[in-house]
Chains A and B, each alone.
Chain A
């Protein structure tokens, strides 16, 4: 069986890959020790997850035992409706690897980017710049986070991603206190950006695409045809409603929803809105 593969990228970043996981890691501080810590931790992550994979594919199942699985489960449990812990897997892995680095090394600023789901560490006067780009390459907005902000997790979900989605959002970016929480929230908000029974939206059963998926026979979106301005507005409004509900529960700090050139920003809990670039 393949072990974790590591390679240094330009500007001192580390790329770690194991099975379907690809992480890009940046560290300001004791970089080498931190990188060692990250690699060591990632070594067992997949095996830990696979130990409890059946539980992780259940909606409202019992709590799993592994640390990574637990983060996923907790992030999913906070929400109503159908959601499995798998919705937060990318964020939870990023968070876990970040934590491992912080335990082994003195680090001022660090991030673990797991395919767009990012776990952050900020201390002192360190800042982190986030820029969002749409599928068309357009800059959608940017924000600078500092250590005073509560945000330590950033996640993006939507049709551009690798995962299956119930909705039609091109992308939904969420800022939250942890990456796993942000990941699950982004997945659900992106899934809520939708129009029911619309002829331009083609859906198929999730298991027809990926048999191992946790979504069973639920229908996921495979393509989106023409939508008029009112329909785009309505779809986004459905997502905004879901996001506002998460707001009232204090689950997310901010969200930015994008579909066909239209955007909706949700500014919550005194977090700065993502300013338009």
Chain B
């Protein structure tokens, strides 16, 4: 064993109030409002509110983020206080930092606002691409540390599961730190470079196209090769004798495919590699890769077998195209029935373009997933299980930074939310390591009382709207949590 000198981290002195606390790294001062973050005194993030009814200005009255603000204090506009910047209380039995009430359309509503500390949390990433990024179950790494793994392939997308308690706290300190950092950055919509074991390097950023091995993905495929045949057969039929849509999943061959048969197309005799599934549909025509249609194909001719001399004919027009239409090649068979590159007709080229036209832009989606089923609930009520029941009974609406959270069935309160619907920089971390994420519980005042809520800690919404509050506009796709709660409650049962 090598003795290593323990370096005690520096404490800093807070000068926010006369108490002048000495605050150790990762801790907050006596007021819970200022903290030592890596040796720097930080005001715990400003509380964020969503303002409805009129356009609002993004506002953060601090440092480099200082912005113009006309001093307009929410004139009669309805506000939803998010948990972003609310801080948290520790230990958990203390009431949540903000329990705010306001009258909404005649009903007295209470929103319990807290920032949860989640060591049981992670992100699910959906990457719209057909390119091979790694095999299912392959380890995903950042800076060499394992932070998750490749999950299933979905229709046109690859899924990753990152984080989780085993990476955060169940392994080495370095792994925990790197995982926490990566999760926070992904949730805050920043770009993170991931390496997949025996796979690709992928740059993932929520709301942006993935970058796979230095190539930015553009389009999500319109469907598998067989689906593409089905969709475009009629447009191709007058202009071409055979079309092969190259796909790592199912490669389609037009004249052999049901769609071609129904158009009375003459069998072309073009034969391809791979395992035939049903007529005109082939599995495994090549290895997975970052070439055509998610295969390793760079030259499409490599998947062709010699044509059937009994069926094929000289001059046969052959179009080969990928599932996104981004790659295509046009050939005509020579006298020996060997495909030779040829000039594509204008109409046929347009049909290839149409595939691309029908593809949606490729994106990375990042869904935060965490369990609020633990002690966090005690900040909401003195009888935690009642909160769980209230959520399951649809009396309580759960949102994260104002965005609707999907609550998983079963026990506890396990939520999933799209980080793109949340205010920017909604996430933080604590050195545990664990992620800090906002969560709000909205319900009627009488329901809050019934579940044993901290009624004496309820504040009027106007009291939290200080000049330090950061105001954001509602996200167009997200319901007003107050209204959503009401719809849910009334529609239940």
Contacts and interface: CB of A to CB of B under 8 A. Distances in A.
29 contacts: A1-B15, A1-B16, A7-B463, A8-B460, A8-B462, A9-B460, A10-B101, A10-B459, A15-B463, A18-B17, A19-B16, A19-B17, A19-B19, A19-B30, A20-B19, A20-B30, A46-B18, A46-B19, A49-B18, A50-B20, A134-B382, A136-B383, A136-B452, A137-B452, A160-B93, A162-B94, A211-B24, A212-B21, A212-B22
A5 B466 CA distance: 9
Nearest to A53: B19
A5 B465 CA distance: 12
A8 B461 CA distance: 10
B466 A2 contact: no
A204 B384 CA distance: 27
Nearest to A15: B463
Q: How large is the interface on B (under 10, 10 to 19, 20 to 34, 35 or more residues)?
A: 20 to 34
Q: Of residues A7, A8, A15, A50, which shows the largest number of chain B Cβ atoms within 10 Å of its Cβ?
A: A7
Helix, strand, loop or mixed for chain A's interface? loop
Interface string A6-31: 01111000010011100000000000
A101 B94 CA distance: 30
B383 A137 contact: yes
Interface residues of A, number: 24
Nearest to B451: A137
A78 B282 CA distance: 91
Interface string B14-36: 01111111101000011110000
Given A1-B18, A2-B17, A20 B31 contact: yes
A211 B381 CA distance: 30
Nearest to B454: A137
A273 interface: no
Contacts of A10: 101, 459-460
Contacts of B70: none
Contacts of B93: 135, 160
Given A19-B17, A46-B17, A133 B31 contact: no
Nearest to A49: B18
Interface in B21-70: 21-22, 24, 29-32
Nearest to A161: B94
Given A135-B382, A212-B21, 10 more contacts: A1-B15, A9-B459, A18-B17, A20-B29, A46-B19, A49-B18, A50-B18, A136-B383, A137-B383, A212-B30
A47 interface: yes
Given A2-B16, A50-B19, A7 B466 contact: yes
B456 interface: yes
Nearest to A223: B91
Nearest to B21: A212
A8 B381 CA distance: 25
Interface string A74-90: 00000000000000000
A9 B18 contact: no
Contacts of A133: 456
A49 B463 CA distance: 27
Contacts of B21: 212
Contact of B22 (A134, A137, A211): A211
A21 B20 CA distance: 13
Given A19-B16, A19-B19, A160-B93, A8 B466 contact: no
Contacts of B464: 7
Q: Of residues B17, B21, B31, which shows the largest number of chain A Cβ atoms within 10 Å of its Cβ?
A: B17
B95 to A, nearest CB: 10
Contacts of B463: 7-9, 15
Contacts of A18: 17
A162 B31 CA distance: 11
Interface in B381-412: 381-383
A133 B93 CA distance: 14
Contacts of A47: 18
Nearest to B381: A137
B449 to A, nearest CB: 10
Contacts of B30: 19-20, 212
Interface string B353-389: 0000000000000000000000000000111000000
A46 B18 CA distance: 6
A190 B51 CA distance: 45
Q: Of residues A5, A10, A15, A134, which shows the largest number of chain B Cβ atoms within 10 Å of its Cβ?
A: A10
Contacts of A20: 17, 19, 29-32
Contacts of A46: 17-19
Interface in A46-78: 46-47, 49-50
A55 to B, nearest CB: 16
Nearest to B378: A135
Contacts of B32: 20
Contacts of A8: 460, 462-463
> Which 3 A/B pairs are nearest by Cβ-Cβ distance?
A19-B17, A137-B382, A137-B452
Contacts of A7: 462-464, 466
Contacts of A50: 18-20
A211 B16 CA distance: 18
A9 B456 CA distance: 12
B391 to A, nearest CB: 18
Interface string B447-482: 000001000100110111010000000000000000
A110 B484 CA distance: 40
A50 B21 CA distance: 11
B17 A1 contact: yes
Nearest to A8: B463
Contacts of B462: 7-8
Nearest to A22: B31
Contacts of B24: 211
A59 B464 CA distance: 39
A10 B463 CA distance: 8
Given A8-B463, A135-B93, A19 B383 contact: no
A162 B28 CA distance: 14
A46 B31 CA distance: 12
A84 to B, nearest CB: 16
Contacts of B17: 1-2, 18-20, 46
Interface string A153-183: 0000000101000000000000000000000
B459 A15 contact: yes
Nearest to A3: B17
Q: Of residues A19, A49, A134, which shows the largest number of chain B Cβ atoms within 10 Å of its Cβ?
A: A19
Nearest to A134: B382
B338 to A, nearest CB: 80
